[in-house]
Structure 1
Amino acid sequence: MAVEYLSDEQARRYGAFVADPTPEELERFFFLDKQGLAEARKKRRKHNRLGWSVQWGTVRMLGTFLADPLDVPQVVVDFAAEQLGIDDPSCIKQYAERSETQYEHTGEIRKLLKFREFAEAEEEVVWFVASRVATTRDSRRELFDRAVLWLVEERVQLPGITTLARLVRDVQLETLEEINRAVVAPTPVHTRRELISTLEVPKASGSRCWSGCGRRW
């Protein structure tokens, strides 16, 4: 599988919360701006306002919506509730009762934040990874992390981890092959043969004396 080159840590943190967001991250991703606050307040019930706000910040931070929108650290819920003036953040538990509402909210949020589906930006991702391969010495794992960061910053929803891992692997291999062809093509055939011959290790002629030729140490 393409994901075999990823570390366990990379796989674990992909599109998921692995720790509480820092205060700086809460401010950056979960602070409701004027438009976000206005949209959240359109929801009639408290738990829907809170659930919408949590999903709004989640996709901004992780680049994806969670299968379970309540699978977030408590500090996220508390931070959103404070902005909405909701005294009891535990009311968000009711948000899980209706998946249709959650789905409707993801569509609203995607449109509001102008998030694109991965398929719409795939060619851009390929170009980004290829440019990194051509200009850096990034390892495959580093290329993967760079691609994730690019997707989040460009507001492109993360695909499945296998899809992205395979893309990074394939683009790296193809780009390196192109570079090799570009380097080798101008080199005359006889020069290539001479260079290859220099890589051949000659066979040892006779035995060598590594012990000082009979001398005792």
Structure 2
Amino acid sequence: MATRELLSPAQRLQFTEIPHFITPRDLARYYTFNNDELRVIKQRRRPHNRLGFAVQLCYLRFPGRVWSLGEIVPESVLFYIASQLKIDPTIIREYS
């Protein structure tokens, strides 16, 4: 018996990708850390590990999956996360 796809590949991407243009409201909604999260993030020793761990947390929150190896984080999201941690966003390249 043939199965039927409910979503097209383009529709499926909408649910699994962060849009390259994200509104300031959505940035604040999905990617603002509370005090408990900041405490856990700051337990990481090096700045690039803190930033990478924070990005992983954000990806779990929205779009609801892990950050894939080699995937480029949209610049607005990366800068928003890094500004909360007071870390240079360019060090994300050191996170492995």
Q: Match of 2:33?
A: 32
Q: Specify the SS of the correspondent of 2:5.
A: helix
Aligned to 2:90: 90
- Aligned pair in 2 of structure 1 residues 70, 47: CA closer, same or farther (>3 Å)? farther
Deviation for aligned residue 1:24 = 1.1
SS at match of 1:62: coil
Distance in structure 1 (CA, Å) of the matches to 2:10 and 2:89: 30
Q: What is the letter of the counterpart of residue 24 of structure 1?
A: R
SS in 2 for 1:14: helix
Q: Which is helix-richer, 1 or 2? A: 1
Q: CA deviation at 1:3?
A: 6.3
2-structure distance, mates of 1:40, 1:9: 34
Look up the SS of the partner of 1:4 in the other structure. coil
State the Cα deviation string for residues 137-193 of structure 1 (Å, max 9, x = none).
Answer: xxxxxxxxxxxxxxxxxxxxxxxxxxxxxxxxxxxxxxxxxxxxxxxxxxxxxxxxx
Identity %: 33
Moved more, 6-15 or 75-84: 6-15
Residues 1:23 and 2:24 aligned together: yes
Q: Which runs of 4+ in 1 moved over 3 A?
A: 1-5
| Bigger RCO (CA 8 Å, 6+ sep) | 2
Q: CA deviation at 1:58?
A: 1.3
Conserved? CA contact 1:17–1:73, under 8 Å:
yes
State whether residues 30 and 61 of structure 2, in contact with CA within 8 Å, keep that contact through their aligned partners in structure 1.
yes
The aligned residue for residue 45 of structure 1 is: 46
Shift of 1:70: 4.7
Structure 2 gap ranges (5+): none
What is the CA–CA distance in structure 1 between the aligned matches of 2:78 and 2:92, rounded to whole Å? 8
1:40–1:52 CA contact under 8 A, matched in 2: yes
Query: Which residue number corresponds to residue 10 of structure 1?
Result: 11
CA distance in 1, matches of 2:66, 2:10: 20
> Residue 95 of structure 2 aligns to a residue in which SS?
helix
Larger displacement relative to structure 2 (62-71 or 19-28)? 62-71
* Deviation of 1:41 (Å): 0.7
3-state SS of 2:44 partner: coil
Contact 1:51–1:69, Cα closer than 8 Å, also in 2: no
CA contact (8 A) 2:30 2:58 kept: yes
Q: Point out where structure 1 has 5 or more consecutive residues left out of the alignment.
A: 97-217
- Structure with greater Cα Rg: 1
